[in-house]
Each structure stands twice: as C-alpha cells, then as structure tokens.
Chains A and B, each alone.
Chain A
C-alpha cells in the first residue's frame, strides 16, 4: 500500500504529465538525425586523421583507404549502457490475469518483409467490439476497418488522445493519453501481434483499464481517439473509459482473440 507521500507524488506527477505539451515527433527525429550526422562526421574525421597519421607507410605497403580502418577508429553506435541488460526479451504474461509492461518483441515471423507497411490513413471507424472485466482489470478490444486496396503489415502501438480540457464554446483541448504499453492475458490463446491485413479486413488493439477501487482515484477518459496523423484522429465508438490505475494499450494485431 503506497503511503501518502507516494500518493501525493504520483498524483501531482500524473497531473503534470497530462498538462505537458511535447514537441512533434518529427522535430525530435530531426534533432536525432543532426546528432547522428555530427557523430558520423566526427568518426569520419578521426578516420581521415588516422590515415593521414599513418602516412605513406600505409600506402607503401598496399594499405589504402578502401581497406578496413585501423582498430580504434570506428565506434559502435550502441550506447554504452543498457538499463536492464539481464531482462528477457520474451513478453511476460502474469498468471493472475494482469498486464505486463514488458513490450512485445516485433513480429518474429519476418512476414513484414513480404508486404508493405500499412498506412494508418487506411484505417477507419475505431469501435469497441469485445472485452470483459476480471481480476480488477477491464479489457476493451478496439477494431478498425482496413480500407486499403493491397495487403499490408501493421506493427507497433497505437497512439491515443483524450479530451483533457476546454469545451465546445471555448475550444476543446486534447492531450496524448499517457497509456502504458502492455499485453493482456485473458485466459485465451496467446495473441500474435502485428501481422498482415487483407483488403476489407480489420486490425485490432487492446485498451485495458483498471477497475480495482484501491488502485487509485477513478479517472474518466472522454472522447478517446486514435491518432492516424496530426489532423486525423477518429473517435473510438464505445468510450468513455474509466480507470483507477491508468490505461494500457497493446500492439496492433490482425486477428482478435
């Protein structure tokens, strides 16, 4: 049981998160690309300097720039640390029917290589089509119809928003729903995440909430929408969603259950 200090810290932080405006992902990636280019330039300079330092000796013995650079001049792009190197890559399902926050590994079948990636713009009409309550949690299976003309593969997690302020008169404010990434074990067969969707088919994701009263103060997430792109965010038919312990979403999958 969390003490009052922890409850106050978490409640204040959750409110802070809900009111946080973040940069557009494109801008963050652009910043990362600039860092990447700078790093490549630095490494390239180091290689040039090393080659220059070796001078004519290297060329005289037949070692040219097209050969492998000397040891110590290349650097691995991997960061020098991993926060939890011993953790298993396998998803973990809890026997009590709860959710795991361990992200699922990407589609292990490699089927994505044979078909193109889906465009989220081809997805329509998100609707809660299934679900249930058990073990203090609630599961909502959300279905979206696929309108594309070609089979495609879909991986990753959906991004959701909810109505976080304002009204019709003053203008509604929508915030990114701070959903955890999770998997849901509902007692049925293990779900295969990702996969290929056929024209006229459908894709799904799970939206899990917590119904256990002691998990925290009940929050109501109204007007929950699926982010297709910056301007297209269809409303999920079947909301609003209530939870005492936040919201978790699964990866996309093609077959429900």
Chain B
C-alpha cells in the first residue's frame, strides 16, 4: 500500500538535493527540474516497492540520470543539442567557480561526468558508484581519472589537482 505522506516527506526532503545533482549533470535548471519531477513521478508509480529499498534516493537519482542521458541523446538526434546543451545558462547569484565547473562538466562524456558527480558531489565511494552504475570498480576508477584529466584544461583554477595521478580515491576509500 502506497503511503502518500511517506512519499511526500521523502520527496520534500530529497528533491532539492537531487535536483542540484542532476543540474550538475545537465547544466540547465529547467531541464534538471523536469527530469527530477519525472523521476519522482516514477518513484510514486512504484512507491510500494521503491519505499522498501535501502536508499530510495539512490533509485530516484539513477532514474533521473538515465532520463538525463536519454534526453541528451534525443536532443542530439534532433540536432538541437547546441541550443539545449551548448552554451551554459547564467545562474544568478551562483559562485562563478561553480558555474565554470558545471560548464566544464558538459564538455566531458556523460559516463565520465556521472562518475565525477557521484564521487565528488554525491560523495559515493568507488565501490558504491560501481554498484549504482552497474560497471566494474576499475571502470569507475578509469572514468574518474580520465574525467578529471579531461576537465583540467577547462578549469585552470583547479588544473593542478585535477591532473594529479589518481587523487580521486585518496579521500573516499
């Protein structure tokens, strides 16, 4: 039996955070909000099962990231990728460093971007990312390393640390 109050509490407590994580993936506030609403709608659709998972938020995030990738691919197919995913939108009041990071994230592959977001923003370990994305631990490490290296030329402020050899596993275990 689906309990709307339980869902509402879950939604209100996690949606802003998940939206910010999806924004880092897609770089567009409107798209991020649409994707997250769709992901939570699906969560309610299956809430009797999703609510029993250890981390419903991880489930929603996984769905949202898949929708994001799907949306991105459809946009490519429609030759509208540049309009939707080209120049980064302005984000009033945001830290310029953060805007620059999100813009740079859009320049690396979706797989690398997802690994970087899950590791550095969500705070998952390499093993947890491997479980959530369904790939091997070594693949996650490779995506993290290559993703950071790919970001370095676009983020001169952090180029030195992004280029450091395998710094990414040092503080997450």
Contacts and interface: CB of A to CB of B under 8 A. Distances in A.
Q: Tell whether A and B belong to one assembly.
A: yes
Interface of A: 1-6, 8-20, 22-23, 25-26, 28-29, 31-33, 35-36, 39, 77-79, 81-89, 101-103, 105, 117, 120, 155-159, 175-176, 178-179, 181, 227, 249
B87 to A, nearest CB: 18
A39 B44 CA distance: 13
Contact of B171 (A2, A78, A88): A2
Interface residues of B, number: 68
B132 interface: yes
Interface centre among A25, A87, A158 (most CB of B within 10 A): A25
A83 B60 CA distance: 9
A182 B128 CA distance: 18
Question: Top 4 nearest A-B pairs by Cβ distance?
Answer: A12-B98, A32-B44, A25-B8, A31-B41
Given A35-B45, A157-B13, A176-B12, A22 B19 contact: yes
A13 B46 contact: no
Given A28-B40, A159-B12, A103 B55 contact: yes
Contact of B9 (A31, A89, A156): A156
Contact of A156 (B5, B50, B93): B5
A16 B13 contact: no
Given A5-B155, A33-B44, A176-B12, 10 more contacts: A1-B171, A3-B167, A25-B12, A35-B45, A77-B46, A102-B55, A103-B56, A120-B5, A179-B13, A227-B12
Contacts of A22: 11-12, 15-16, 19, 33, 36-37
Interface in B1-45: 3-17, 19-21, 23-24, 33, 36-38, 40-45
A245 to B, nearest CB: 11
23 contacts: A5-B161, A8-B98, A11-B98, A12-B97, A13-B98, A13-B121, A16-B23, A16-B94, A17-B20, A25-B11, A28-B41, A32-B40, A32-B45, A39-B45, A81-B62, A81-B134, A84-B128, A84-B131, A87-B131, A89-B54, A102-B54, A103-B55, A178-B13
Interface of B: 3-17, 19-21, 23-24, 33, 36-38, 40-47, 49-50, 52-56, 58-59, 61-63, 91, 93-95, 97-99, 101-102, 120-121, 128, 131-132, 134, 148, 151, 155, 157-158, 161-162, 167, 171
B55 A87 contact: yes
Contacts of B36: 22
Contacts of A15: 93-95, 98
Nearest to B38: A31
A159 B98 contact: no
A17 B131 contact: no
A35 B93 contact: no
Nearest to B102: A12
Contact of A83 (B49, B62, B151): B62
A14 B44 contact: no
A15 to B, nearest CB: 7
B9 A159 contact: yes
